[in-house]
Amino acid sequence: MSDYRLDTKCVQGGYRPGNGEPRQIPIVQSTTFRYETSEAMGRLFDLEDSGYFYTRLQNPTNDLVAAKIAEMEGGTAAMLTSSGQAANFFALFNVCECGSHIVASSAIYGGTFNLIEVTMRKMGITATFVAPDCTEEELNAAFQENTRAVFGETIANPALTVLDIEKFAKAAHAHGVPLIVDNTFPTPVNCRPFEWGADIVTHSTTKYMDGHGAAVGGAIVDSGNFDWMAHADKFPGLCTPDDSYHGITYAEKFGQGGAFITKCTAQLMRDLGSIQSPQHAFYLNLGLESLHVRMPRHVENGQAVAEFLANHPKVVNVTYSGLPGDKYYDLAQKYMPKGGCGVVSFELEGGRAAAETFMKHLKLAAIETHVADARTCCLNPATSTHRQMTDEQLEAAGIPAGLVRMSCGLEDKEDLIADLAQALEAI
Ligand SMILES: *Cc1c(COP(=O)(O)O)cnc(C)c1O
């Protein structure tokens, strides 16, 4: 599949049925797998043979879909997780342990911020957050002797900032650690972070990849480009024997292209769980089959809505990296020349009261905390997710009371604009 173009990989990557086999990927709805001899199964437990024995570690349906995502991103190996949260935790924890440190962009998903800043801190893993548009000097100054990973989001949810992947990759590599990029919003259709130096990519497949709001899930992909053995002192988990597998050294046995995902599966999935169900992997694959057709439409609708809002007198400002005046326009042009995603945010004049009226009058756009599926939805944090905060607190957090985040779906853009126009009229 690696010679085919991305659109073909979306449709047919990962699975090539043999003679008389099902055209659609089979859902292997089985927790366990049968063996003829204990010895045969023992070889799987020793990681001497590859195969299936228990779905908490691996399942054939999941592996087909993970292989497709690996092809789409241009990576060497991938795995599915039960959620995007699990994907980011596993990707980070696979190279960190108690005493490690992470450098992360401050513009990241709230759930990931809590994961790093609150939960991983309780595990003895600390973090330094840097602004995505920091200078190289500021970025380099964030590293410590115990730094083990750099983390950022290609397009941040919900800030919509664009990560300068090359800048972050250069700093990570200068300090001998991998760059992990959450590529949820652009998907590999609009950006492939490995082409710009990222080492590991993660996804909340819950968003555009599934694309229909049907199944929560995540994915981790390895570029195969990071030389763990060259930094063996930093990554003992990958470069020294694992006692729980009879002394296997992942980076030696599975090489640069296989070590990261094999360890993440054999160790973290084994011990922590969080596998995606085969049924969800099947739904995810249906989404992937049309991802290359849907993403351009999300971008087209996002761009049209952003341009309409930017010219509306009741809108104070619009954040969308496809708008020439946007702070991240140039970076977006570089990393995502075909466009980023369909999520737009804007601030209404009149703050909380205006937002309340506006949201009430929307007919087509639904009020949801979700983003990135086929149906357009909107969220006003001040009157929903962040309603405990005062206007002053919201302003300080960079979430003005009149801010609305809109995820443009796949409807006709004229209908979306008409819906916005009448809701704006009502204010
Ligand atoms: C939603 C999201 C997550 C978390 O994914 P879940 O599937 O909800 O666990 C992580 N990163 C980004 C960028 C997201 O948008």
H-run or E-run covering 377: strand 377-379
Interval 201-236: pLDDT, tens: 999 999 999 999 999 999 999 999 999 999 999 999
Work out the percent of the chain whose per-residue pLDDT is above 90.
Answer: 89
Ligand 1, atom 5: closest residue by C-alpha? 84
- DSSP alpha helix (H) spans, 59-154: 60-73, 84-93, 110-114, 120-122, 136-141
State the pLDDT at residue 340: 98
In this model, does residue 396 exceed pLDDT 80?
no
Distance CA 38, CA 321 (A): 57
Q: Which residues pair with 77 in a beta bridge?
A: 222
109, 180, 181, 368: residue to mutate for ligand 1 pocket, most atoms within 8 A of CB: 109
Nearest atom within ligand 1 for CA of residue 86: 9
DSSP strand E in 205-326: where? 218-222, 315-319
Q: Which residue lies with its CA nearest to atom 7 of ligand 1?
A: 84
Mutate to test the pocket of ligand 1, among 184, 280, 377, 385 (most ligand atoms within 8 A of CB): 184
Domains of the chain in start order, with CATH, are 6-286 (3.40.640.10), 293-425 (3.90.1150.10)
What pLDDT score was predicted for residue 1? 63
Determine the average pLDDT of the residues in 141-150.
Answer: 98
Whole-angstrom Cα distance, residue 120 to residue 93? 9
**pLDDT tens sequence across 116-143:** 999 999 999 999 999 999 999 999 999 9
85 alpha carbon – ligand 1 mean position (Å): 6
Query: Over 90: is that where the pLDDT of 399 sits?
Result: no
Q: Which atom of ligand 1 is nearest to the CA of 108?
A: 13
Identify which of 125, 132, 115, 114 has the alpha carbon closest to the alpha carbon of residue 149.
125
Q: Which of 110-119, 253-262, 381-390 has the lowest mean pLDDT?
A: 381-390
Q: What is the pTM of this model?
A: 0.97
- What is the Cα–Cα distance from 153 to 164, expressed in whole angstroms? 10
pLDDT digits (tens, 9 = 90+) for 344-375: 999 999 999 999 999 999 999 999 888 999 99
Cα–Cα distance, 228 to 173 (Å, whole number): 11
**H-helix segments, 74-200:** 84-93, 110-114, 120-122, 136-141, 165-174, 187-190
**Stretch 324-342: mean pLDDT, rounded?**
97
pLDDT of residue 372: 95
Centroid of ligand 1 to alpha carbon of 9 (angstroms): 24
Quick one: how many helices (H) and strands (E) in the chain? 19, 12
Question: What's the rounded mean pLDDT across residues 158-163?
Answer: 94
The closest residue, in CA terms, to atom 8 on ligand 1 is 84
Which atom of ligand 1 sits closest to the CA of residue 184? 13
The ligand 1 atom at the shortest distance from the C-alpha of residue 216 is 7
The Cα–Cα gap between 361 and 356 comes to 9
Q: Which residues line ligand 1 (CB under 6 A)?
A: 83-85, 88, 109, 111-112, 153, 157, 182, 184, 204, 206-207, 216, 218
Amino acid type, 102: I
Whole-number Å distance, alpha carbon 98 to ligand 1 midpoint, is: 24
**Does pLDDT of 2 surpass 80?**
no
To test the ligand 1 pocket, which listed residue (92, 114, 154, 207) has its Cβ within 8 A of the most ligand atoms?
207
DSSP letter string, 20-49: T--SSPP----SB---S-HHHHHHHHTTSS
